Structure 1
């Protein structure tokens, strides 16, 4: 580009040789200029003082020539010194700029690191101060970290998907409402494992097929455990529109609930009071009077959506609806009175209430 091309080691070695040649050329010119100055002085002194001896002329010539050379060397030295000083100033300025830039970057990195530390500290402080179990949160983070370090790509993608789903559920629960497509049996069973006082539920034709499935078996087992170990009161109302829908299979389902200790009743909407006849009522379950689990049917009368609602107004409205249904429904006393033998020789005592049901 500039007309000078140096390649390889030979090009690198030629640079000092060129600098040395230039220095020799400048020194030769300075010496030649000093000689010329001395010769000029000799000529001038010879013209002006023809009677004097040659000693004074030669002395003046030598002194003037030497002075000329010294002045040139001093000027050259001054230029070099000024160039060195400028180079040092430039180097110091560049160093200051570099140190300032490095200091800014280090400060930004330190601030960012402390901000992350503060955020993590604040997060774990909130976790420790929460009523939730902090050890489970720590377990989740450690497990996710382990998957990120050792898992395959498909495992990492699946873990990220599940973590995102869990995070969304936590955010929605914090806002008072969470939902998911279809019927979420795991939510239903987990909530039954967590209930401590009451479980009030309605069951319509939408979930009638559910009771013959494997999740229903686990659901009933979880309810039985809640009744026996935590003394949870469980009530369920099976809703039908007409008397003709009260079939033998529905009665058997109701009796099956009784065996698990669940107080179950059948309600015919057409026979209820107007205050208890609700035209549109989704299946819902109220846990401990604090959370409502609901399923919404689609056009094919199949569960299309599951919703968890924690807002006080909605939960209280569902509790009131259930209480109206429960109070308007009499238990179905289908068993006939059974005679009990007496030890006095054949007398029998009738038990009008039939088999005793657990609350």
Structure 2
């Protein structure tokens, strides 16, 4: 480009200078000027490209920072909402921290198991936001944890379809889960929690039922108020409405739904457990329990089996 401008300008230099050296020098000056102009033009283009790239980089950084702050704001808002709702943020932080500690090289089985457990907890929380939640199958954790968290009262109904096998309650209360549940209730009772339980019987004559007597005694020894509801004492307005449920602080109703047509003598099968928090349905359970409790008889009116056996020869 410089040589071209010098060659083009050389004929014009002849008009300015008569001697050849002057003409060559003038052509060189014109070429140099063209070189400087070309450099400035190229520099401007390059500077423009740098500015465009810098603006794009700044825009990307700004967007990244804004997204980061948005995530922080979302996390902060969630933590604030949890604390406002009375949920301990420390427990949630611990859950996230321990989930993040899972090795990226963990097996697919471990990762999938973690995902399922987190989803299970998430589904429970979603259910509590809409005032009901269901556990498919037989639950243990909900029952034990609610018993640990209760602050004032537990009102329970035990029916043979859920807690008994072959018309005897021994099957559940002698099981590992039954023993753990009774121990947890005993601990809650020691904190001042009032616990009441009604055992629904399949017939009125239970005076010789040594198993039921033993269970009632163990419940009373654990600080539980126990009553028995005989078939003849069921009020007409609740016939067919006696189900297995537990009221925790009159705020959550824990319900057990057994499978139908269980073979006689076989242990009950639980299809699902349900948490009910809806006000109208919760009030219905509270009213129903009050009627059942008032209709039931104190367990100490049950004649002890040994007294029945010793009374027979005295009457003969």
Which category of TM-score, normalised to the shorter sequence, fits these structures? 0.7 to 0.9
Identify the residue that residue 216 of structure 2 maps to in structure 1: 254
Work out the number of aligned pairs and report it: 289
CA deviations on 1:194-232 (whole Å, 9 max, x unpaired) are 2222111111122214223101001111112222x1232
Of residues 136-145 and 282-291 in structure 1, the stretch that sits farther from structure 2 once superposed is: 136-145
1:55-98 deviation digits (Å, cap 9, x = unpaired): xxxxx9x8175676566545544543332222112111101101
Q: SS in structure 2 opposite 1:299?
A: coil
Distance 1:252 1:286 in 2: 24
Task: Rate the CA distance shift 1:149–1:121 in 2: closer, same or farther, 3 A.
Answer: farther
Partner of 1:286: 247
Structure-to-structure mapping, 1:133-148, within 5 angstroms: 133-148=88-103
Query: Residue 315 of structure 1: CA displacement?
Result: 1.5
Matched, 1:222 2:222: no
Match runs of 1:58-73 below 5 Å: 63=18, 69=24, 72-73=27-28
- Measured against aligned partners, the alpha-carbon deviations of 1:260-319 in whole angstroms (never above 9, x if no partner) come to 332222223354231232x14431000111110001123345211111122222221101
Is the Cα–Cα contact under 8 Å of residues 233 and 295 in structure 2 kept in the other structure?
A: no
Distance 1:30 1:328, change over 3 A: closer
1:317 paired residue number: 284
Cα distance change of structure 1 residues 215 and 300 upon mapping to structure 2, 3 Å threshold:
same
Q: Is the 8 A contact 1:200 1:236 kept in 2?
A: yes
- Aligned partners of 2:58 and 2:149: how far apart in 1? 55
Match of 1:335 in 2: 303
| Counterpart among 28, 44, 47 of residue 89 in structure 1 | 44
Q: Work out which of the residue numbers 307, 310, 322 in structure 1 matches 2:274.
A: 307
Relative contact order, CA 8 A, sep 6+: which one is greater? 2
Q: For the Cα contact (< 8 Å) 2:159–2:200, is it kept in 1?
A: yes
- Structure 1 residues 272 and 233: alpha-carbon distance in aligned structure 2, compared to 1, 3 A threshold: same
Q: Is the 1:200–1:285 Cα contact (8 Å) retained in structure 2?
A: yes
Question: Unpaired runs of 5+ in structure 1?
Answer: 1-18, 42-59, 339-359
CA distance in 2, matches of 1:298, 1:272: 23
Q: Deviations over 1:139-186 (max 9, x none)?
A: 333323333578665444433332232222223223211221112112
Q: 2: distance between equivalents of 1:94 and 1:148?
A: 44
TM-score (norm 1): 0.68
Q: Which segments of 5 or more consecutive residues in structure 2 lack a partner in the other structure?
A: 165-170, 263-268, 307-316
- TM-score w.r.t. length of structure 2: 0.77
